[in-house]
Structure 1
């Protein structure tokens, strides 16, 4: 059961990582469509690194 939980956690973190990477290619109009500001985009892109991935994993385990 622990292994399954770990795999689910890894999948969720990987998906968030990929989504954050894709944010870099969005135009200003697309950002406005999803309700995201340039500042928020920059914050999310800063988390799209290996360090951000690990922090995301650790946050999942704290829940």
Structure 2
């Protein structure tokens, strides 16, 4: 059970990492549509690194998979 939980946390971290990478290619109009500012976009892109990925996985493990 522990291994499955760890795998789920890693999978969520990978999803979040991929989403942040895709964020780099959205247009200004799309950013406006979702209510995102350039500063927020830059902050999210700064977390699209290996360290950000590990931080997300540890966050999910600590919070048992909840995104609170």
Please list every run of 5 or more consecutive structure 2 residues that lacks an aligned counterpart in the other structure: 64-68
Partner of 2:22: 22
Query: Are 1:2 and 2:2 matched, yes or no?
Result: yes
Report Cα offsets for 1:7-60 as digits up to 9, x if no partner.
111111000000000000001000011111100000000000000000111111
How many residues are paired up?
Answer: 63
Root-mean-square deviation (CA, aligned residues, Å) is 0.6
Residue 61 (structure 1) shift: 1.6
Please list every run of 5 or more consecutive structure 1 residues that lacks an aligned counterpart in the other structure: none
State the alpha-carbon separation in 1 of the partners of residues 50 and 32 from structure 2. 27
Identify the structure with bigger relative contact order (alpha carbons < 8 Å, sequence gap 6+): 2
State the alpha-carbon separation in 2 of the partners of residues 61 and 7 from structure 1. 10
> TM-score under structure 2 normalisation?
0.89
Say which structure is richer in helix: 1
Partner of 2:66: none
> TM-score under structure 1 normalisation?
0.96
